[in-house]
Structure 1
């Protein structure tokens, strides 16, 4: 029997209705420890801004907090929106994480703003900063170079730190850039699946070996909700469906409890738009989840799968992750 590819978690660090950021951050730490024990390969969080319902804006701080109760799992960004930042500062932050959690830090890099244009002005993101994305990655690589290289300015403690850089994206651009730089590539099919197959082909066909990576390595995002029954999994999924509906209503808010009938919540147009964005999803019993993940892995040739489980109830989320880990054959901590 073929060994399943590694399974990782992208945590949205959702702020639930009736709670606040403090509770969301405590849950992030608890979930990181939970998936560490279950045998997941990575725990990632993403940079978002001006979003009341997501508590991971200060991504490196959240990772430091979440990693405190972990032992083995890699922690990282999925991703840092590099145009919003000085590469030097990001090198310092993730070099610090590498000092705290040696050999376990990933730095996933995105080109998108992670917010709206008004918030970008508040962040002081320069106009046209996204066009410098390739140069900024090269600069990051320079700051992480071994400390025996000449140079008056160093990004301590990043110099020589063991941090794995990733390129993240949802289009051909990121795939080609990751291939050109010889870096691992993560595709955001959990919310933008349209170009998944094309991006995977471009990445592998154009990959150039690098000092970090000898052969292409691709990770694919997928929404996963696993429960004992199809009906319960479908009901739990309505939280994510309502959240994405809020995007089109310009009403992003707190995570909402699931409802019994999503058809009473959205319009036909909203349903079509949300269903397209959430098209890469596996929802159901453990057997259905296993079959769905296997089919996605065969289709894409993914070297790893990173799942999103946007579930309102904390215990139901833990149960979903445990069921998924079990059916996927992950080996829990002894």
Structure 2
């Protein structure tokens, strides 16, 4: 399953979620270079896996061609697992995903993860542009998952075969921000990753649903839950909270329906937002799953998060404008784990 960690915190492996941010004044080339640097940096620090997420029509996120970027990151690293967190399966023909990840696994054997989501990763107009029709949507996700799993099975007599892909053991994860994928992952006996970093209210119910309904499978004998958390760590609480205003502005732009590139920090978030908007941002970036501060503050926050979720693994998103501060944030986290 690829869940054996290289470094531990209370026996919990730590992983990286990279949204490949395009910063204000930057471009996709800079974003990809930054992602390579971060992947190499976190690999050396001892992080377990490095995931990239599919988003479309987002000026501040460069990972739309997720499979291509996974190959780029895997080629620039040596041992860290690299994967999708996730591929939005309703956007794609399942055969194409089987072939893409079969190719990645053939190139980088034993290092590729396939995390699957059922949301479009975009607005409805973009979803239509991706699929040309919305007749096949999230409600057919279980059928698509079954189809994808069939393509990975070795069956030389099948009329349609995924080559490369068939016969390869590529870990499939289900991703979710509600109970749907939690229940499906439990029924299929698959590892589950929950997006607590933007859906904190549903975290504990979804994890309980997954664990209570889990059925062992050839892929997994016991439930395995990885939970997402935002961490913005700096040497002082003050600097961390200043850095965090970039992520707050990003959610503010989504709230207004006008997504932007990742903006630089501001000294006072109230200058660029209303009280109502800040309340909405606070509900999404809840302190339960958005940990901001100095090393000691982050240690306390992560300890509390683990106590509450009983996560088997944590995947960390650090949406930070300045690359040197993003590298330092992950460095601080791993220093705490020592």
TM, length-normalised to structure 2: 0.95
Map of 2:150 onto structure 1: 142
Q: How many residues end up aligned between the 2 structures?
A: 328
Map of 2:5 onto structure 1: none
**Native 8 Å contact 2:9 2:337 kept in 1:** no
The alpha-carbon deviation at position 256 of structure 1 amounts to: 0.6
Equivalent-residue separation in structure 1 for 2:18 and 2:33 (angstroms): 13
Q: Deviations along 1:70-117, whole A, 9 cap, x unmatched? A: 111110111100001111100000111101111111100001111111
**Native 8 Å contact 1:85 1:125 kept in 2:** no
Equivalent-residue separation in structure 2 for 1:128 and 1:224 (angstroms): 36
SS at match of 2:113: strand
Cα gap change, 1:60/1:118 in structure 2, threshold over 3 Å: closer, same or farther?
Answer: same
**Native 8 Å contact 1:223 1:282 kept in 2:** yes
Equivalent-residue separation in structure 1 for 2:295 and 2:111 (angstroms): 29
**Native 8 Å contact 1:73 1:104 kept in 2:** yes
The alpha-carbon deviation at position 150 of structure 1 amounts to: 3.7
Q: Indicate which of 308, 311, 334 corresponds to 1:325.
A: 334
Q: Deviations along 1:39-70, whole A, 9 cap, x unmatched? A: 11110010001111110000000111111121
**Native 8 Å contact 1:237 1:258 kept in 2:** yes
Map of 1:306 onto structure 2: 315
Cα gap change, 1:265/1:282 in structure 2, threshold over 3 Å: closer, same or farther?
Answer: same
**Native 8 Å contact 1:107 1:163 kept in 2:** yes
TM, length-normalised to structure 1: 0.96
| Match runs of 1:11-90 below 5 Å | 11-90=18-97
Map of 1:282 onto structure 2: 291
Is 1:254 the counterpart of 2:261 in the alignment? yes
The alpha-carbon deviation at position 174 of structure 1 amounts to: 1.0
The alpha-carbon deviation at position 128 of structure 1 amounts to: 4.0
Cα gap change, 1:2/1:33 in structure 2, threshold over 3 Å: closer, same or farther?
Answer: closer
The alpha-carbon deviation at position 4 of structure 1 amounts to: 3.4
Equivalent-residue separation in structure 2 for 1:316 and 1:208 (angstroms): 42
**Native 8 Å contact 1:83 1:125 kept in 2:** no
Q: Which runs of no fewer than 5 residues in structure 2 stay unpaired?
A: 1-7
Map of 2:201 onto structure 1: 194
> What RMSD over aligned residues (CA atoms) do the two structures have, in Å?
1.3
Q: Which runs of no fewer than 5 residues in structure 1 stay unpaired?
A: 330-334
**Native 8 Å contact 1:105 1:162 kept in 2:** no
Cα gap change, 1:270/1:188 in structure 2, threshold over 3 Å: closer, same or farther?
Answer: same
